[in-house]
Amino acid sequence: MAFSFKNKKGVTYFLHSRSTITKTGKTQTLYFFAKEKKAGVMEAVPAGYKVSETTNGLPVLKKV
């Protein structure tokens, strides 16, 4: 079951993650929300983060 978030406008977003390698060779994990389930969909919010909503209704992850 993918983690979903419904904003104040009633639109459902799904949490995704993607790992990339930086120019220095380190691995960085990017978290993002999308309206459709794609590759990299997550089951839960990662530890140390919480879901917040911008004034425009877009969900974002914030560190706790």
Q: Residue ranges of the domains in the chain?
A: 4-63
In this prediction, residue 1 carries a pLDDT of: 86
Rounded (5°) CA angle 40-42-48 = 125
Question: How do residues 27-43 score in pLDDT, each as one tens digit?
Answer: 999 999 999 999 999 99
Taking the model in full, what pTM does it have?
Answer: 0.87
Q: Name the stretches of the chain with pLDDT < 50.
A: none
